[in-house]
Amino acid sequence: MTAVNHGRGTGTWPKLTLRPALLVPVAAVGFAALVGLALIAAIGVPVSGAIAAFVDGTFGSLYVIAASINRSTAFALVGFGFVLANRASLTNVGGEGQIAVGGIAATAVALYGHVAALPLGLSFILPMLAAVAAGALWGALAAVLKVKSGTNEVISTLLLSFIGVWLLYWCVQSPALLRKPMTSSATLPESLEIPDETKLPLLTGDYSFPLHVGLPLTLVIAVVVAVLLSKTVLGFRLRAVGLNPVAAHRAGISYARTVVFALATAGALGGLAGALMLLGEQYTLKDGFSSGYGFDGLVAGLLSRGSIPGVIAASLLFGFMRSGGINMEMAAAVPTALVVVIQGLIVITLAGAALVIERWERS
């Protein structure tokens, strides 16, 4: 993961100049979109219909806009965690599992924690905190493995992801855990719907524009993470350990504590993403709950090259792309596989664009 740049190590926010830094990514997305359209044309789907379906799915209604932004918050939270851990040269690829355990914890507390009657928003805050704790635990497990026995966190977070995802499957399959009571053989393997009090409040109160409190929360967290990385001693320690763990150790900075902090925080943010998805959007826990959001968030973190605004930009892009892709599939019969291919193309061209910008800036 050497392509990840730590904001040139200074921890400051990048200067957004209009020149290559912005134009190149736009051109990259445009190029990928053109290739995508060519592929769509090649399989015989009318291009104009596909474009119309995509636009309709992304900006066609207030509803899809809100849904896209809600989805983006989950990507962004995982992306922030990735950037934070990456400051310490740690690569957290376990977002998927952290989302899953977050979803399990939030569901369990919302359904069986007797929180529905609590005042002051505690009815949804407590399930969120449970998700944060579960995600932090999932991240900390990988950290402890790394500190105690040197296990590479790429391996451990990825494998813990599988465990988390299958744990969720077990939870929704087993009536002794979170599966809703089986009244007939047709009862789906999923949890009960969470009580209304535990659902995240909508910003407008209007279900046709279902933007929930996850958005302001994510923006606050963005500021907190950016400040933590650039202004605090914690951020300094992350950077020192990331750049030279031996010298950091000699200077009295604890490697173990820093690694545990970094991965646990990344995991906590993943868990919170899971809580937003469950409490704000899905309301019932089902198999396939995490839907690859952990990997989209990871890619957002990678593409951001260590910048928090970059994570937000990439997350919005992916959030809207997903909505458009879903609608292209439903309305224009473009196969899902092709939508995924186009997404991959965009990631690759954006990564290539990052390289171009880097060379540009160097010369």
Partner 1 sequence: MTDPTSDSARIAAEPLLSLNAITKRFGSFTALSDVSLDLRPGEIHCILGENGAGKSTLCNLIFGVHRPDGGSMRYRGAPFQPSGPADSLAQGIAMVHQHFSLVGDMSVVDNVLLGRARGVLDRKACAAQLDRLAGEYGLPLDPLARIEDLSVGERQRVEIVKCLIRDPSLFVLDEPTAVLLPDEIAALLDVCRRVAASGRAVVLVTHKLAEIKQVADRVTVLRAGRVVATSDNPAAEIDALVRAMIQGSVEALDESTASMLGFEPVRHVDHGPAAVQPKAEVLQIDGLTVTDHQGVTRLDNFTLTVDRGEIVGVAGVEGNGQSELTAVLAGMMAPTQGRIYLGDQDLTGRSPREITAAGVGIVPEDRHAVGCVTGMSLAENIYLNRLDEFTRFGFLRRAALERDAAAMMQRFDVRARGPGAPFSSLSGGNQQKAVLAREITLPNLACLVAAQPTRGLDVGAVAAVYGHIRAACSRGVAILLVSSELDELLTVADRIVVLYRGQLMGACAADPSRREVIGAMMAGQPL
Q: Kindly state the smallest distance separating residue 25's Cβ from partner 1, in Å.
A: 26
- Cβ proximity to partner 1, 199 vs 239, nearer residue: 239
d(CA 355, CA 20): 11
232: its two tokens: 């605090």
335: its two tokens: 């196969």
Q: Kindly state the smallest distance separating residue 198's Cβ from partner 1, in Å.
A: 33
- Cβ proximity to partner 1, 119 vs 252, nearer residue: 252
- Cβ proximity to partner 1, 7 vs 135, nearer residue: 7
d(CA 284, CA 310): 31
For 18, the 3-state DSSP assignment is coil
**Long-range contacts of 117-123, Cβ-Cβ distance < 8 Å, separation of 24 or more:** 117/197, 121/201, 123/195, 123/197, 123/198
Q: What residues numbered 224-253 form the site for partner 1, per CB under 8 A?
A: 231-237, 239-240, 243-244, 246-253
Distance of CA 55 to the CA centre of its chain: 23
Q: Kindly state the smallest distance separating residue 359's Cβ from partner 1, in Å.
A: 16
Q: Kindly state the smallest distance separating residue 266's Cβ from partner 1, in Å.
A: 19
Side chain identity at residue 237, one-letter code = R
What values do phi and psi take at 20, rounded to 5?
A: -55, -35
Q: What residues numbered 105-164 form the site for partner 1, per CB under 8 A?
A: none
d(CA 276, CA 240): 33
Q: What residues numbered 2-21 form the site for partner 1, per CB under 8 A?
A: 6, 9-10
- Cβ proximity to partner 1, 21 vs 253, nearer residue: 253
Residues touching partner 1, count (CB under 8 A) = 23
- Cβ proximity to partner 1, 212 vs 237, nearer residue: 237
**Chain contacts with partner 1 (rule: CB under 8 A):** 6, 9-10, 231-237, 239-240, 243-244, 246-254
